[in-house]
C-alpha cells in the first residue's frame, strides 16, 4: 500500500490551513480522501461591539473571496459567505466552519436573499473565460440580477455595498494605461460580452442605486490577480503557464505573445478592497499591478522560475517549450492599471511582485 499523499489544491505553505493543521490527504491505494479540519482556530482580533461589523461576502468560496474572508475573520468581524459553489468550493473556507464568527450559506445570488449586515462585498460571478463562457446567459443573469438583489438588500438594511468589477470594462483599450475616466472599448456581442457587459451594467445599477436611493457604494475595478487557491485548471493565464511548466508540457501562448497584462498578488487586492470599503472614495477605483509584461515575457519568466525551483528540488525533467496558437476573439491587446486614484485616495500601493 503506497503512502497517502497530499492532494492538489492542498493548503499552500504559510497558509492558515497549514499552520493550524487542516489538510486533505489522498490515499492512492483505495482512491479515498481524508479531511482534517483545524484542531483550533487561528486567533481573531477581539473587537469592541461598535467596531465589529456583520459582513456578507457573496462569492466568498471563490479564489479572491476566500482570501478576503480570511482577512475579515482575522480582523475580528462576523462573516457570512453566500455562494452557489459554481466555481468556488467549500474547501476554500472550510477552515472557518464552526467558528462563532463565521457562517456559510449555499445560495444563488440571482434569487433574493435577506440578512441584516453592515457591509456587503459582492464578488459572486465566475471570472475565468472558460467558466463565464460556459453558460453566457447565466453569467449575465448573475451580473445583472445578482447585483440587483444585493443592491436591493443594501438599500433595505442600509449596508455599505462594494462590487468587484473588472478591468474588462475597458475592453480592448485604446487608452494606455487605463485610468478610471476611460469609458472602454467593448464588443457588446462577442464571446466575452456576457462578462464584460455584465460588469458594465452591474456598475450602472450600482450608481443608479447610489443616485436614486442613496445607497453607499464602492466600485473596485480589479486587474488580473493570482495567488494560492486559484483553480489550477480554470484556464487563466497564470495557472495555465505554471501547470504546463511544472509538467514540462508545451506552454500555450495565444497570438504572437505581444499582448500585455499586469498581474497582482491576491494579498494586495485584499488590502485594496478593504481600504476601499472603509474609505470615502465612491468613484470606480482600479486595483491592480502597474508592472506590465508581454504574455511572451511572462511565459519565459514562469518557465525560468519553474526550471530553477525544480533543479533546486531535484525534480527537474525538462524545460517546457512555448508554442503559439490563434488569438481568441476580442482578446485585449494591452492591459495596465493606472492606480493613481487608489494610491491617492486609499493610500494603497502594491507590495508584492510577480516573482
Ligand X SMILES: NC(=O)c1ccc[n+]([C@@H]2O[C@H](COP(=O)([O-])OP(=O)(O)OC[C@H]3O[C@@H](n4cnc5c(N)ncnc54)[C@H](O)[C@@H]3O)[C@@H](O)[C@H]2O)c1
What is the set of active-site residues? 195
CB of 63 to ligand X, least distance (A): 4
**Smaller CB distance to ligand X: residue 142 or 260?**
142
**Closer to ligand X by Cβ: residue 82 or 320:** 82
Strand order in the sheet with 32-36: 5-6, 23-27, 32-36
Residue 163 contacts residue 221 (beta carbons within 8 Å):
no
In contact, 47 and 20? CB cutoff 8 Å: no
C-beta of 64 vs 154, nearer to ligand X: 64
Binding residues for ligand X, rule: CB under 6 A, are 58-59, 61-65, 83-88, 108-110, 123-127, 131, 142, 146, 164, 166, 222, 224-225
- Cα(107)–Cα(81) distance, integer angstroms: 9
Conformation bin of residue 154: beta by default, left when phi > 0, alpha when psi is -120 to 50: alpha
Q: Of 110 and 175, which has the nearer Cβ to ligand X?
A: 110
Measured distance CA(174)–CA(191) in Å, rounded: 20
Cβ atoms within 10 Å, residue 156: 13
Give the Cα separation of 115 and 110 in Å (integer).
Answer: 15
**SS3 state of residue 334:** coil
Amino acid at each position: 500500500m503506497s503512502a497517502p499523499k497530499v492532494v492538489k489544491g492542498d493548503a499552500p505553505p504559510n497558509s492558515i490551513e497549514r499552520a493550524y493543521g487542516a489538510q486533505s490527504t489522498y490515499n492512492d491505494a483505495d482512491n479515498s480522501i481524508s479531511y482534517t479540519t483545524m484542531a483550533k482556530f487561528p486567533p481573531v482580533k477581539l473587537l469592541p461591539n461598535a467596531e465589529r461589523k456583520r459582513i456578507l461576502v457573496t462569492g466568498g468560496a471563490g479564489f479572491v473571496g476566500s482570501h478576503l474572508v480570511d482577512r475579515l475573520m482575522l480582523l475580528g468581524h462576523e462573516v457570512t459567505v453566500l455562494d452557489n459553489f459554481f466555481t468556488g468550493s467549500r474547501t476554500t473556507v472550510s477552515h472557518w466552519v464552526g467558528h462563532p464568527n463565521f457562517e456559510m450559506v449555499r445560495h444563488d445570488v440571482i434569487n433574493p436573499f435577506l440578512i441584516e449586515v453592515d457591509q456587503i462585498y459582492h464578488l459572486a460571478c465566475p471570472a475565468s473565460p472558460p467558466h463565464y463562457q460556459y453558460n453566457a446567459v447565466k453569467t449575465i443573469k448573475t451580473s445583472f440580477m445578482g447585483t440587483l438583489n444585493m443592491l436591493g438588500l443594501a438599500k433595505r438594511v442600509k449596508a455599505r455595498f462594494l462590487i468587484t468589477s473588472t478591468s474588462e470594462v475597458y475592453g480592448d483599450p485604446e487608452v494606455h494605461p487605463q485610468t478610471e475616466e476611460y469609458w472602454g472599448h467593448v464588443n457588446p456581442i462577442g464571446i466575452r460580452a456576457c462578462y464584460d457587459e455584465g460588469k458594465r451594467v452591474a456598475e450602472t445599477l450600482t450608481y443608479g442605486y447610489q443616485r436614486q436611493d442613496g445607497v453607499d457604494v464602492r466600485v473596485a475595478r480589479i486587474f488580473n490577480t493570482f495567488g494560492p487557491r486559484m483553480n489550477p485548471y480554470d484556464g487563466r493565464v497564470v495557472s495555465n503557464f505554471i501547470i504546463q511548466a511544472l509538467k514540462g508540457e508545451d506552454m500555450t501562448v495565444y497570438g504572437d505573445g505581444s499582448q500585455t497584462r499586469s498581474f497582482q498578488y491576491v494579498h494586495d487586492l485584499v488590502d485594496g478592497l478593504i481600504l476601499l470599503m472603509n474609505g470615502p472614495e465612491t468613484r470606480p477605483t482600479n486595483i491592480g499591478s502597474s508592472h506590465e509584461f508581454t504574455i511572451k515575457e511572462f511565459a519565459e519568466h514562469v518557465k525560468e522560475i519553474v526550471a530553477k525551483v525544480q533543479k533546486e528540488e531535484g525534480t527537474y525533467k525538462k524545460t517546457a517549450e512555448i508554442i503559439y496558437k490563434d488569438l481568441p476573439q476580442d482578446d485585449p491587446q494591452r492591459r495596465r492599471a493606472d492606480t493613481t486614484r487608489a494610491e491617492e485616495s486609499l493610500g494603497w500601493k502594491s507590495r508584492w511582485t510577480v516573482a
